[in-house]
Amino acid sequence: MISREDLKQIGRGFLMGGADIIPGVSGGTMALILNIYQRLVAAISRFDLEFLSLLKQRKFGEAARHCDSRFLLFLGIGAVSGIGGLASLMHYLLHDHRQPTSAVFFGLIAASAVIVARMIPRWKPAEAVLVIAGAAVAYWVVGLPLLTNPPVGTWYLFVAGLIAICAMILPGISGAFILLILGKYTDITGMIKQFLKLDWSVDLFLSLTVFSLGCLCGLIGFSKFLKWLLERHETQMLAVLCGLMIGSLRKIWPFKVDLTPDIDELKLKQFDNIWPAEWTGETLFAVGLAAAAFLAVLILDRVTHGHEHPTHSESGSPEASPAQED
């Protein structure tokens, strides 16, 4: 039976799926905002040898509990629903109302970076350096030019999946944008559309399988690395995540000039950030929306008594924090 907590995970997944549609916003960013990032990383990392051993022994219940499968299941249902349900709306908002829409997400992410910074108990020079380094990396990545002549071959599909899925887990860096940089976004989306149209071929299945294996290896391997970092170097890792979110604001900056007016597909368009030449009513409206989103996130965080991190039992299973229990 679906519980109230399951419905919450569906809602959180829905927001994560919707966020993945926004250029410069990743599902990892939304997971961090929604206070499920560490639990998500931990759950994914538990698809390991112990999980396979439990399946081999036909201990399916223990295997499900080991990887927090109920949490992942309902979060996944929500994410798929969010991508499908919000795709048209987000495309419309970003295509026809880009500036105010970007302004809202700019304020949301900026406030979330402040909240993550508050989660660091004691600031030292090392944490400040890591924030700057994380911001610099994200700022550089989101400004990279698209690769026009990518390598060919199935090995590159594997590498593209491996890198893109790692980026998707990190707050501030969009996996779809990484695929764009690597020159494989249109190829992958084209193969998915071909698969959904039942236009199947051996080459199609081979390419999708190789790409999926790259995603799977990257997802499990990188999540284990992130879990290790969060468990042993939580403060330093939070500083890096804070920096990544700050640097990613370059991509979601609301004031832009369109460099590709002839291209209609949102993911393929390129923009250049500008400072408003004059403070018109439209500009002030965008600034007001960013400020309102910024304050709304901070107020919501204060009302919910700040971020509470999930704890882990000795067996490694996640236990709900007070903020996650009803």
**Residue 5 CA neighbour count, 13 Å, CB half:** 13
Give the model confidence (pLDDT) of 186-243 as tens digits: 788 788 878 878 888 888 899 999 999 998 898 888 888 988 988 888 899 889 989 9
Instruction: Give the Cα separation of 287 and 107 in Å (integer).
Output: 9
Q: What is the pLDDT of residue 324?
A: 40
Give the model confidence (pLDDT) of 66-117 as tens digits: 999 999 999 999 988 887 777 677 777 877 888 998 898 899 889 888 888 8
Instruction: Give the Cα separation of 206 and 210 in Å (integer).
Output: 6
In terms of C-beta distances under 8 Å and separation of at least 24 residues, what long-range contacts does 280-288 make, across chains too? 282/99, 283/255, 285/100, 286/99, 286/100, 286/102, 286/103, 286/254, 286/255, 287/103
- Say whether pLDDT at 119 is over 50: yes
Q: Mean per-residue pLDDT for 120-145?
A: 89
Give the model confidence (pLDDT) of 3-61 as tens digits: 888 899 999 898 888 777 666 677 777 887 788 888 899 998 888 888 889 999 989 89
- Say whether pLDDT at 122 is over 70: yes
3 contacts 324 by C-beta, under 8 angstroms: no
- 278 vs 132 pLDDT, higher one: 132
Q: What is the pLDDT of residue 33?
A: 76
Whole-model pTM: value is: 0.73
- Say whether pLDDT at 325 is over 50: no
The count of domains in the chain is 1
DSSP codes, 236-297: HHHHHHHHHHHHHHHHH-S-EEES-TT---GGG--EEE---SS--HHHHHHHHHHHHHHHHH
Task: Kindly report the average pLDDT of the chain as a whole number.
Answer: 82
Q: Mean per-residue pLDDT for 155-170?
A: 86
Which residue range(s) make up the domain with 283? Answer: 4-324
